[in-house]
Structure 1
Amino acid sequence: MGWDECLAELLIQLGDHGLVAMVKMDGERERGRWTVLVSGSPLGGELVRWDGDDLNAGLSRVLAELQERVPGLLD
């Protein structure tokens, strides 16, 4: 499975848990060009955000935090 299919599947799973997710690349920034943002009622009005240059590392960090805060996520 390619990264595009993996990312799409991940976003679908987050949506199935009532989360809203965004992955953004900002070509105008010199550093921290990627943003991953997740919000939604399972987070109690808070959000999980990461900005950086390594999208894979950012997705891993956000998913680790989400798995701590949202029981049953990605089981």
Structure 2
Amino acid sequence: MQPIEIPADWNGSALLTIDEFCSLARLPQATVHAWQSRGSGPRFWRFNGNGRLYTTVDEVRRWTAPSTVVMDVRETGGRL
């Protein structure tokens, strides 16, 4: 699977519809809706409580950014 490529010149606060996100990510909408029901994937919002789902370019960038997990070994009793 190829990574999602977001052009660097896109405005971070620009809105993407769920259709645009699915096209960009090369995913079916059913997958994104399943992520939403599980609380994973990028966050989407509805304006005025109804209508289309939107996300922002910055939210997609946040979601696609490599995550780093920092764990304090004191919390695990020295076990990882």
Task: Please give the TM-score of this superposition, normalised by the length of structure 2.
Answer: 0.28
Task: Please give the TM-score of this superposition, normalised by the length of structure 1.
Answer: 0.29
Greater share of helix:
1
